[in-house]
Structure 1
Amino acid sequence: MNSKKLSFQEKINLCFKMVIGSTISWELAVFLGSKYPYLAPISLILCLQATIVKSIRFGIARIVGTIIGVATVIILAPSLHPSGWSIAVLMIASLLVPLFCGANATSLHQIALSVLLVLEFEHKLSGYGMDRIRDSIIGVVVALLLHLLIFPPNFTKKAIIEVEELPNKLEIMLKSLATWLEAGAPQKNYFNSEFNLLHNKIIDIEKKINQAKLSLKFNPLSKKSKQKLFEAELLLKTLSQVNVDIDVLFKTIDEWRKSGLFSKKSEEIWIQNLLFIESSLRNWNEEKGMSDFVFNETFSNEKFAHAADWHGQNIISTLKQSPPLPTLRKRFSNSDS
């Protein structure tokens, strides 16, 4: 299907579609007069891609590539027998025009495969070329209908689960920063690498949301899932902003501390502030409401103090303006996706 790791349920769905689809496509090929009905299930199995969009793209490439490959052999080499040179000449002839017309790699693969197999079997198996075209169409059509009507691919839930994990990671980061300050802000720390990991995680989640969107194209049952993905994107945007503010906040405090201007009083205030932000994020995530605790400011004109205060306040402001994750969980659990 593709390199994406499938859940056990998705593997069951794939196996079911291959079994049912192979049976249907074989019988249809026989009914329509095919002498080589195994070609239809082959096309079906290959066409069952991760999403409906990918299946459509592969199906079109399969059909078009097969037609071009068969036509090339029938027109240019009706009396040729397979050899290295004849295969090379026919492949060049069949691939040049599609190549310069912008055909994708899948189409080129299917053209080359059809040239090779039709040249080999057309003389041995009468009518192989035309059967290959008809049976490829049968397999592709059956595969697309199965994908559309039975367990259509939907990666929405996977993407939302990834978003749900982010608040806990940010809470741990905030608590770790407070502990770091409480321990006297030792020179050696691991926060830069941790922030890099979080940044990469957010990028990965963005990709999974885009994959989920792709899985919903042409999906007849996707209305509710599209709404959930829209909400997940809004939540990811909120958490991404929180992550950026925490990152800048750490770097500001670290530079402040290294400058020698970070007083004991400022340290105590920022330990409390970090714990307050962590508590606020946890309450927001658990839908308990934001605390009325007044955010402590250092009341200093230093550039470090102003920057730290602004990013700390911005985290609280961002959370107050955004819906909590449990709302998304409840809505998703009641959906049919």
Structure 2
Amino acid sequence: MKIGLRTIKTGIAVSTTMLVTDFLNIEYPFFALIAALIAMQPTVSDSWHSGINRIIGTFIGAFVGLLFGFIAPINFLLVGLGLILLIYTMNRLGWTDSINIAGVVFLAIILNDEGVHIIYAVNRLIDTFIGISIALGVNYLIFPPTYDKKAISVINNVSSQVWLCIDKAVDMLTNEENYLEEIANIINEIEVELSESDKFLQLQLKEEKVKVYGVYNSKEMQIRLNLVKETLQHLHNLYGALEKGVKKEVLEIIIEDINILKDSMKKNHLPISKKQKRLINLQPSINIIRTIKKGLKYNPRVNQYPTDDVVRLMVVIYNLEELMSKVTLLIDLLPSKGK
């Protein structure tokens, strides 16, 4: 298990904060170090929001702690009453994420037995600001986290997976083999990858709000993910039709063309690398599918069979065509060699 970049940056931020507090002769660097530790988040945007929440919590906690410290310091009744008032106020103002740190600062100030509550409170604010500033700087300047490539990488995987589903579906039509379980497993894998990519997209959207950009912007990522979602829907449609079954006698109408399609598909092998992407040409296979679809539609023999059976075969052919077209688009959207 390798050490992640965020872990390394957390160590850098805390160590740098310790050096700065030592240089500034800060007597109690604990709050600055904790602020740096907590403010180091997966995204710069999250670091910013975490820092703001901590500053708000520190300020409100210090203010209430000072107020109750002047009234009666280290009084068990006022400590409880002060916490109740503090939590109620934070909830009313909608600053729920700042409640914990506000409570910690409140307790630190009201229980401070040195007597100089104002100076202590101001020092805690300064400590917090130092820790947050350093964590933000480290997260922004040292390999700022971007999630575009992680999201886009799903395209290459999906291209291969969809092609495998198409191959299995055609094999089911020609060899009467049952590959439904394999197709279902592939669909599940794509759904998991798509869910992960959606999470990466949301993280990248956060980053772009604070001007942190990757190779791809969020709009490019959204276009690709939408295409994957459309592809996934066609896979579900194909699976549903195959699961209900295609009658052999209906399939005999187009079986010769299906075999021609299978031979054409053998010329195109996935996975597709960046070097291969321009060598792949799926258009001949797409044209064959369109010929099959047209031939099935106008073949007088279809009238001999139940409408449901013919429609089911048409659904299979239609979704094979759509999936082949989507694979072509996914291949075109593969990262170029320079990215």
Match of 2:111 in 1: 120
Query: Which one-letter code corresponds to 1:225 in the other structure?
Result: V
In 2: Cα distance, 1:43 partner to 1:159 partner: 30
Query: Which one-letter code corresponds to 2:35 in the other structure?
Result: S
CA contact (8 A) 1:162 1:205 kept: yes
Q: 1:95 aligns with which of 78, 87, 92?
A: 87
**Alignment map for 1:1-337 (pairs within 5 Å):** 8-28=4-24, 30=25, 34-78=26-70, 79-81=72-74, 83=76, 85-104=77-96, 106-123=97-114, 127-186=119-178, 189-219=181-211, 222=213, 225-227=215-217, 229-257=218-246, 262-266=250-254, 269-270=257-258, 273=261, 282=270, 286-287=276-277, 288-291=279-282, 292-293=284-285, 294-296=287-289, 297=292, 299-301=295-297, 302-320=310-328, 324-326=332-334, 328-332=335-339
Q: Alignment RMSD, CA only?
A: 3.3
Decide which structure has the larger Cα Rg and report it: 2
Task: Encode CA deviations 1:149-195: one digit per residue, 9 max, x unaligned.
Answer: 33222233322333332222222222333344444244973533542
In 1: Cα distance, 2:281 partner to 2:205 partner: 32
In 2: Cα distance, 1:205 partner to 1:114 partner: 39
Q: Which runs of 5+ in 2 are unaligned?
A: 298-309
Query: Which one-letter code corresponds to 1:15 in the other structure?
Result: G
CA contact (8 A) 1:69 1:111 kept: yes
Task: Encode CA deviations 1:112-154: one digit per residue, 9 max, x unaligned.
Answer: 2212222222547764322111211222122222222332222
In 2: Cα distance, 1:240 partner to 1:271 partner: 29
The farther-off stretch of 138-147 and 311-320 is 311-320
CA contact (8 A) 2:251 2:313 kept: no
Provide the secondary structure at the position in 2 that maps to 1:138.
helix
Provide the secondary structure at the position in 1 that maps to 2:125.
helix
| Change in 2 beyond 3 A, CA 1:101/1:9 | closer
Percent of matched pairs sharing the same residue: 15
Paired positions, count: 317
Deviation at 1:311, TM superposition (A): 2.1
Deviation at 1:12, TM superposition (A): 2.8
In 1: Cα distance, 2:268 partner to 2:326 partner: 11
| Change in 2 beyond 3 A, CA 1:311/1:50 | same
Task: Encode CA deviations 1:281-307: one digit per residue, 9 max, x unaligned.
Answer: 848763124243432415335322332
| Change in 2 beyond 3 A, CA 1:280/1:187 | closer
Task: Encode CA deviations 1:297-325: one digit per residue, 9 max, x unaligned.
Answer: 15335322332332222233344556624
| Change in 2 beyond 3 A, CA 1:38/1:320 | closer
Provide the secondary structure at the position in 1 that maps to 2:111.
helix
Task: Encode CA deviations 1:45-102: one digit per residue, 9 max, x unaligned.
Answer: 221111111111111111111111111121123223153x433211111121220221
CA contact (8 A) 1:171 1:282 kept: yes
CA contact (8 A) 2:154 2:194 kept: no
Task: Encode CA deviations 1:251-292: one digit per residue, 9 max, x unaligned.
Answer: 2233342x6764345456446546756866848763124243
Q: Which runs of 5+ in 1 are unaligned?
A: 333-337
How does the TM-score come out when normalised to structure 2? Answer: 0.78
Query: Which one-letter code corresponds to 1:118 in the other structure?
Result: I
In 1: Cα distance, 2:271 partner to 2:100 partner: 54
Provide the secondary structure at the position in 1 that maps to 2:205.
helix
